[in-house]
C-alpha cells in the first residue's frame, strides 16, 4: 500500500528527465528503488544510499537498467562536481538537516556536459 502511494506523482516527476541520450543521473537516497520502474533504459544511473538494507532491496528492482548502487553518506555528496546531468531527490529533502544547502550542492553536481557513462563518475571518498 505505502509502496504504491504517490506512484503517479513519482512517475510524473521522473518524466521530466529526457527519454533519449546517454545521460548520467544520480538517484540520491535511492531507498528501496521505487523510482526504478519509471526510469528510461537509455541513461546511466548511480543510486546512492546510506543504508545497505535499502540498497539490497533496490538491487531487486534494477532489471535491465545501467545502474550502479553506491553505499555512502550523501552529505557531502561523495562525487566530483559536475558529474551528473540530472539528480533525483525524491523524499530526501525532508530528512536532511539543511535542505537549501543540500539542494545547492546537488545543482553544483549537475552539468550540461555529456559523459560517456557513469563509470567515469569519480567518487571523492
Ligand atoms: C524516505 S526514503 C526515500 C527513498 C526514495 N528516494 C524514494 O523516493 O522512495 C529516504 C532514503 O534516504 C536515505 N538517506 C537518509 N539520509 C541519508 C544520507 N545522509 N546519505 C545517504 N542516504 C540517506 C535513507 O536510507 C532512505 O533510503
* pLDDT tens track for 59-95: 999 999 999 999 999 998 999 888 899 999 999 999 9
* pLDDT tens track for 11-58: 999 999 999 999 999 999 999 999 999 999 999 999 999 999 999 999
Check if 11 has its Cβ closer than 6 Å to any atom of ligand 1: no
- Which is the closest atom of ligand 1 to the Cα of 31? 27
Contacting residues for 10 by C-beta, under 8 A, at least 6 apart: 34, 35, 38, 90
* CATH number of the domain residue 29 falls in: 3.40.50.150
Q: Quote the number of domains for the chain.
A: 1
pTM score, whole prediction: 0.90
**Domain contains 1:** no
**Domain contains 120:** no
**Residue-range definition of the domain harbouring residue 21:** 7-114
What is each CA distance from 96 to 53, 100, 102, 111, in whole angstroms?
19, 10, 8, 23
Task: Determine the residue of 49, 67, 69, 74 to mutate for testing ligand 1's pocket, defined as the one with the most ligand atoms within 8 A of the Cβ atom.
Answer: 49
Entry field: residues in the chain: 125
**Domain contains 121:** no
**Domain contains 56:** yes
Q: How far is the CA of 92 from the centre of ligand 1 (A)?
A: 6
**Domain contains 123:** no
Q: How far is the CA of 19 from the centre of ligand 1 (A)?
A: 25
Amino acid at each position: 500500500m505505502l509502496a504504491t502511494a504517490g506512484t503517479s506523482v513519482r512517475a510524473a516527476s521522473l518524466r521530466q528527465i529526457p527519454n533519449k541520450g546517454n545521460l548520467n543521473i544520480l538517484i540520491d537516497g535511492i531507498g528501496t528503488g521505487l523510482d526504478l520502474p519509471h526510469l528510461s533504459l537509455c541513461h546511466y544511473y548511480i543510486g546512492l544510499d546510506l543504508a545497505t538494507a535499502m540498497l539490497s532491496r533496490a538491487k531487486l528492482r534494477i532489471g535491465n537498467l545501467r545502474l550502479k548502487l553506491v553505499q555512502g553518506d550523501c552529505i557531502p555528496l561523495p562525487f566530483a562536481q559536475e558529474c551528473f546531468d540530472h539528480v533525483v531527490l525524491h523524499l530526501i529533502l525532508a530528512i536532511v538537516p539543511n535542505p537549501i544547502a543540500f539542494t545547492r550542492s546537488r545543482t553544483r553536481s549537475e552539468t550540461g556536459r555529456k559523459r560517456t557513462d557513469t563509470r567515469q563518475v569519480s567518487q571523492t571518498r
